[in-house]
Structure 1
Amino acid sequence: MLSDLKDAVIIIIEKDCKYLFVKKSENTQGGKYWAPVSGRVENNETQEEAVIRETFEEVGLKVTPNKKEWECKSEYGNYILHWWSVEIISGIESTASDEISEVKWVTLNEMKKLKPVFKMDIEYFEQKELLS
Protein backbone atom coordinates (compact mmCIF):
# COMPACT_ATOMS: atom_id res chain seq x y z
CA MET A 1 0.00 0.00 0.00
CA LEU A 2 1.52 3.33 -1.06
CA SER A 3 0.36 5.21 2.06
CA ASP A 4 2.53 2.92 4.22
CA LEU A 5 5.69 3.86 2.34
CA LYS A 6 8.04 6.61 3.45
CA ASP A 7 8.72 9.59 1.20
CA ALA A 8 12.19 10.40 -0.10
CA VAL A 9 13.42 13.05 -2.51
CA ILE A 10 15.91 12.61 -5.34
CA ILE A 11 17.49 15.92 -6.36
CA ILE A 12 18.46 16.44 -10.00
CA ILE A 13 21.21 19.09 -10.05
CA GLU A 14 22.25 20.04 -13.58
CA LYS A 15 24.97 22.45 -14.70
CA ASP A 16 26.60 22.78 -18.13
CA CYS A 17 24.86 19.60 -19.42
CA LYS A 18 26.24 17.56 -16.50
CA TYR A 19 24.52 16.12 -13.44
CA LEU A 20 25.80 16.06 -9.88
CA PHE A 21 26.24 12.53 -8.55
CA VAL A 22 27.49 11.57 -5.12
CA LYS A 23 29.00 8.35 -3.84
CA LYS A 24 27.42 7.40 -0.55
CA SER A 25 29.74 6.53 2.32
CA GLU A 26 30.04 2.88 3.23
CA ASN A 27 28.22 3.28 6.57
CA THR A 28 25.06 4.90 5.12
CA GLN A 29 21.90 3.63 3.45
CA GLY A 30 22.81 3.07 -0.18
CA GLY A 31 26.47 2.88 0.84
CA LYS A 32 29.08 2.81 -1.96
CA TYR A 33 26.42 3.57 -4.61
CA TRP A 34 26.67 6.49 -7.02
CA ALA A 35 23.41 8.45 -7.10
CA PRO A 36 21.93 11.92 -7.28
CA VAL A 37 21.67 13.75 -3.94
CA SER A 38 18.77 12.25 -2.01
CA GLY A 39 17.20 11.85 1.39
CA ARG A 40 14.10 11.19 3.43
CA VAL A 41 11.32 13.69 3.90
CA GLU A 42 11.17 14.39 7.65
CA ASN A 43 7.91 14.58 9.64
CA ASN A 44 6.09 17.89 9.10
CA GLU A 45 8.39 18.74 6.18
CA THR A 46 7.29 19.34 2.59
CA GLN A 47 9.10 17.70 -0.29
CA GLU A 48 10.42 21.12 -1.33
CA GLU A 49 11.82 21.73 2.16
CA ALA A 50 13.48 18.30 2.10
CA VAL A 51 15.05 19.09 -1.30
CA ILE A 52 16.57 22.31 0.07
CA ARG A 53 17.75 20.72 3.35
CA GLU A 54 19.22 17.54 1.86
CA THR A 55 21.09 19.38 -0.89
CA PHE A 56 22.71 21.74 1.60
CA GLU A 57 23.47 18.99 4.14
CA GLU A 58 24.98 16.58 1.62
CA VAL A 59 26.84 18.80 -0.84
CA GLY A 60 26.79 22.36 0.56
CA LEU A 61 24.70 23.90 -2.24
CA LYS A 62 21.77 26.26 -1.75
CA VAL A 63 19.04 25.45 -4.27
CA THR A 64 15.50 26.36 -5.23
CA PRO A 65 13.20 23.46 -6.17
CA ASN A 66 11.92 23.92 -9.74
CA LYS A 67 9.62 21.06 -10.56
CA LYS A 68 8.71 17.56 -9.49
CA GLU A 69 9.81 15.49 -12.49
CA TRP A 70 8.89 11.91 -11.62
CA GLU A 71 7.68 9.56 -8.88
CA CYS A 72 8.35 5.86 -8.40
CA LYS A 73 8.84 3.18 -5.77
CA SER A 74 12.39 2.54 -4.59
CA GLU A 75 14.20 -0.57 -5.76
CA TYR A 76 13.39 -2.42 -2.53
CA GLY A 77 9.85 -1.03 -2.33
CA ASN A 78 10.19 0.75 1.02
CA TYR A 79 10.08 4.38 -0.25
CA ILE A 80 8.19 6.51 -2.71
CA LEU A 81 10.88 8.48 -4.56
CA HIS A 82 9.98 12.01 -5.61
CA TRP A 83 12.37 13.33 -8.30
CA TRP A 84 12.90 17.12 -8.24
CA SER A 85 14.83 19.39 -10.58
CA VAL A 86 16.45 22.40 -8.90
CA GLU A 87 18.20 25.66 -9.64
CA ILE A 88 21.52 26.32 -7.89
CA ILE A 89 21.43 29.61 -5.95
CA SER A 90 24.90 29.54 -4.40
CA GLY A 91 27.70 27.40 -3.05
CA ILE A 92 30.41 25.13 -4.35
CA GLU A 93 29.70 21.42 -4.30
CA SER A 94 31.67 19.45 -1.74
CA THR A 95 31.41 16.42 0.48
CA ALA A 96 29.66 18.50 3.14
CA SER A 97 28.37 15.44 4.96
CA ASP A 98 30.01 12.33 6.35
CA GLU A 99 27.28 10.45 4.41
CA ILE A 100 29.06 11.34 1.14
CA SER A 101 32.53 10.10 0.17
CA GLU A 102 32.80 11.60 -3.37
CA VAL A 103 31.10 14.22 -5.55
CA LYS A 104 31.27 14.16 -9.36
CA TRP A 105 29.67 16.05 -12.29
CA VAL A 106 28.81 13.57 -15.06
CA THR A 107 27.19 13.50 -18.48
CA LEU A 108 24.44 10.98 -19.14
CA ASN A 109 26.95 8.68 -20.88
CA GLU A 110 29.43 8.97 -17.99
CA MET A 111 26.63 8.24 -15.50
CA LYS A 112 25.90 4.94 -17.25
CA LYS A 113 29.52 3.88 -16.61
CA LEU A 114 29.44 4.58 -12.85
CA LYS A 115 29.36 1.44 -10.70
CA PRO A 116 27.33 0.63 -8.75
CA VAL A 117 24.20 2.71 -9.47
CA PHE A 118 20.56 2.12 -8.61
CA LYS A 119 18.30 0.75 -11.34
CA MET A 120 15.80 3.61 -10.85
CA ASP A 121 18.51 6.22 -11.46
CA ILE A 122 19.36 4.67 -14.82
CA GLU A 123 15.66 4.43 -15.69
CA TYR A 124 15.04 8.10 -14.88
CA PHE A 125 18.01 9.41 -16.85
CA GLU A 126 17.33 7.14 -19.83
CA GLN A 127 13.77 8.53 -19.99
CA LYS A 128 15.14 12.07 -19.67
CA GLU A 129 17.56 11.40 -22.53
CA LEU A 130 14.74 10.09 -24.75
CA LEU A 131 12.66 13.20 -24.09
CA SER A 132 15.52 15.62 -24.80
Structure 2
Amino acid sequence: MHHRISVGALVIRDQCLLLAHHVVPGKYDFWAPPGGGVEGDEELSAAAERETFEETGIRITAHRLAYIDELIDDSGRMVKFWYLADYVSGEINTHANPALEEAITEATWFPQTSLPPGHIFPAILRDAFWYELATGFPAPKKLPLLKSIF
Protein backbone atom coordinates (compact mmCIF):
# COMPACT_ATOMS: atom_id res chain seq x y z
CA MET A 1 0.00 0.00 0.00
CA HIS A 2 1.30 3.44 -0.99
CA HIS A 3 1.53 6.05 1.79
CA ARG A 4 1.61 9.83 1.36
CA ILE A 5 2.33 12.64 3.81
CA SER A 6 0.39 15.80 3.09
CA VAL A 7 -0.28 19.17 4.70
CA GLY A 8 -2.93 21.84 4.55
CA ALA A 9 -3.20 25.44 5.75
CA LEU A 10 -6.22 26.82 7.59
CA VAL A 11 -5.63 30.47 6.73
CA ILE A 12 -7.86 33.07 8.38
CA ARG A 13 -7.98 36.70 7.24
CA ASP A 14 -10.59 39.17 8.50
CA GLN A 15 -12.69 36.33 9.97
CA CYS A 16 -12.68 34.48 6.61
CA LEU A 17 -11.19 31.09 5.66
CA LEU A 18 -9.22 30.61 2.44
CA LEU A 19 -10.62 27.79 0.29
CA ALA A 20 -9.65 26.53 -3.17
CA HIS A 21 -12.18 24.99 -5.56
CA HIS A 22 -10.98 21.69 -7.08
CA VAL A 23 -12.96 20.53 -10.12
CA VAL A 24 -12.54 17.74 -12.64
CA PRO A 25 -15.92 17.34 -14.37
CA GLY A 26 -17.37 13.90 -13.85
CA LYS A 27 -14.71 13.00 -11.31
CA TYR A 28 -14.78 15.47 -8.40
CA ASP A 29 -15.91 18.91 -7.29
CA PHE A 30 -14.94 20.08 -3.82
CA TRP A 31 -13.58 23.02 -1.81
CA ALA A 32 -10.58 22.68 0.50
CA PRO A 33 -7.94 24.84 2.13
CA PRO A 34 -4.69 24.96 0.17
CA GLY A 35 -2.34 22.06 0.70
CA GLY A 36 -0.52 19.13 -0.81
CA GLY A 37 2.34 16.70 -0.55
CA VAL A 38 5.45 17.19 1.53
CA GLU A 39 8.64 17.16 -0.57
CA GLY A 40 11.96 15.56 0.43
CA ASP A 41 13.27 16.78 3.79
CA GLU A 42 10.80 19.68 3.96
CA GLU A 43 9.37 20.58 7.37
CA LEU A 44 5.59 20.11 7.57
CA SER A 45 4.90 23.79 8.30
CA ALA A 46 7.19 24.86 5.44
CA ALA A 47 5.30 22.54 3.08
CA ALA A 48 2.00 24.15 4.13
CA GLU A 49 3.47 27.60 3.42
CA ARG A 50 4.84 26.53 0.01
CA GLU A 51 1.64 24.76 -1.05
CA THR A 52 -0.49 27.76 -0.07
CA PHE A 53 1.65 30.06 -2.19
CA GLU A 54 1.71 27.66 -5.15
CA GLU A 55 -2.05 27.10 -5.14
CA THR A 56 -3.30 30.58 -4.24
CA GLY A 57 -0.48 33.16 -4.48
CA ILE A 58 -0.95 33.92 -0.76
CA ARG A 59 2.04 34.06 1.61
CA ILE A 60 1.39 32.66 5.07
CA THR A 61 3.07 31.60 8.27
CA ALA A 62 1.95 28.15 9.44
CA HIS A 63 2.21 28.11 13.19
CA ARG A 64 0.10 25.53 14.98
CA LEU A 65 -1.04 22.01 14.21
CA ALA A 66 -4.86 21.86 14.38
CA TYR A 67 -5.89 18.49 12.90
CA ILE A 68 -4.43 15.18 11.83
CA ASP A 69 -6.48 13.65 9.05
CA GLU A 70 -6.34 10.18 7.45
CA LEU A 71 -7.74 9.23 4.07
CA ILE A 72 -7.69 5.91 2.27
CA ASP A 73 -8.59 4.95 -1.30
CA ASP A 74 -7.60 2.42 -3.95
CA SER A 75 -4.21 4.11 -4.43
CA GLY A 76 -3.21 3.97 -0.76
CA ARG A 77 -3.34 5.95 2.45
CA MET A 78 -2.70 9.63 3.09
CA VAL A 79 -2.02 11.31 6.40
CA LYS A 80 -2.69 15.05 6.28
CA PHE A 81 -1.52 17.57 8.86
CA TRP A 82 -3.70 20.71 8.97
CA TYR A 83 -1.96 23.84 10.28
CA LEU A 84 -3.49 27.07 11.52
CA ALA A 85 -1.83 29.81 9.53
CA ASP A 86 -1.59 33.58 9.51
CA TYR A 87 -2.00 35.59 6.33
CA VAL A 88 1.22 37.50 5.55
CA SER A 89 0.77 39.02 2.08
CA GLY A 90 -0.47 38.62 -1.47
CA GLU A 91 -3.64 38.49 -3.48
CA ILE A 92 -5.31 35.33 -4.77
CA ASN A 93 -3.79 34.01 -8.00
CA THR A 94 -4.55 30.40 -8.94
CA HIS A 95 -2.89 30.60 -12.36
CA ALA A 96 0.76 30.44 -11.29
CA ASN A 97 0.57 26.93 -9.77
CA PRO A 98 3.54 24.84 -11.03
CA ALA A 99 1.63 21.55 -10.50
CA LEU A 100 0.20 20.83 -13.94
CA GLU A 101 -2.11 18.09 -12.61
CA GLU A 102 -3.91 20.51 -10.26
CA ALA A 103 -7.54 21.20 -11.02
CA ILE A 104 -8.03 24.39 -8.99
CA THR A 105 -10.52 26.65 -10.74
CA GLU A 106 -10.66 29.44 -8.15
CA ALA A 107 -9.87 30.36 -4.56
CA THR A 108 -11.82 32.68 -2.28
CA TRP A 109 -12.03 33.92 1.31
CA PHE A 110 -15.22 32.66 3.03
CA PRO A 111 -16.81 33.77 6.31
CA GLN A 112 -18.33 31.00 8.44
CA THR A 113 -21.83 32.12 7.51
CA SER A 114 -21.23 31.95 3.74
CA LEU A 115 -19.29 28.75 3.10
CA PRO A 116 -19.83 27.38 -0.42
CA PRO A 117 -22.44 24.68 -1.04
CA GLY A 118 -21.33 21.17 -1.86
CA HIS A 119 -18.45 19.16 -0.48
CA ILE A 120 -15.91 20.90 1.75
CA PHE A 121 -12.84 18.97 2.86
CA PRO A 122 -12.35 18.38 5.71
CA ALA A 123 -16.02 18.39 6.73
CA ILE A 124 -15.18 19.76 10.19
CA LEU A 125 -14.72 23.18 8.53
CA ARG A 126 -18.51 23.55 8.35
CA ASP A 127 -18.98 23.54 12.12
CA ALA A 128 -16.58 22.53 14.91
CA PHE A 129 -13.57 24.26 13.35
CA TRP A 130 -15.03 27.70 14.06
CA TYR A 131 -15.67 26.85 17.72
CA GLU A 132 -12.19 25.37 18.08
CA LEU A 133 -10.71 28.45 16.40
CA ALA A 134 -12.52 30.70 18.91
CA THR A 135 -11.35 28.60 21.86
CA GLY A 136 -7.73 28.45 20.70
CA PHE A 137 -7.22 24.79 19.74
CA PRO A 138 -5.86 23.50 23.07
CA ALA A 139 -4.39 20.43 21.30
CA PRO A 140 -4.29 18.93 17.80
CA LYS A 141 -7.38 16.84 17.07
CA LYS A 142 -7.29 13.49 15.27
CA LEU A 143 -10.06 13.29 12.66
CA PRO A 144 -11.63 9.90 11.81
CA LEU A 145 -10.25 7.73 9.00
CA LEU A 146 -12.30 8.35 5.85
CA LYS A 147 -12.48 6.96 2.33
CA SER A 148 -11.28 9.58 -0.16
CA ILE A 149 -13.79 11.04 -2.61
CA PHE A 150 -11.37 10.56 -5.54
Same fold (TM over 0.5): yes
Runs of 4+ in 1 over 3 A off after TM superposition: none
- Opposite residue 8 of structure 1, the aligned amino acid is S
- The normalised TM-score by structure 1 is 0.80
Instruction: Describe how 1:102-121 pairs up with structure 2 within 5 A.
Output: 102-111=106-115, 113-118=116-121, 121=122
Counterpart of 2:87 in structure 1 is: 88
Q: Which moved more, 1:92-101 or 1:58-67?
A: 92-101
Q: Which runs of 5+ in 1 are unaligned?
A: none
- The normalised TM-score by structure 2 is 0.71
2:17 aligned counterpart, secondary structure: strand
Alpha-carbon spacing, 1:75–1:11, altered in 2? closer, same or farther (3 Å)? farther
Question: 2: CA distance between counterparts of 1:46 and 1:17?
Answer: 27
1:40, distance to aligned residue in structure 2 (A): 0.7
> If each structure's helix is expressed as a fraction of its own residues, which one has the higher value?
1
Which of 10, 13, 21 aligns to 1:12? It is 10
- Opposite residue 41 of structure 2, the aligned amino acid is N
Instruction: Describe how 1:1-132 pairs up with structure 2 within 5 A.
Output: 5-26=3-24, 31-74=28-71, 76=73, 78-95=77-94, 96-97=96-97, 99=102, 100-111=104-115, 113-118=116-121, 121-131=122-132, 132=134
**Alignment coverage as a number of residue pairs:** 125
Larger Rg: 2
Identity %: 25
Contact 2:9 2:49 in 1 (8 A): no
Question: 2: CA distance between counterparts of 1:6 and 1:109?
Answer: 33
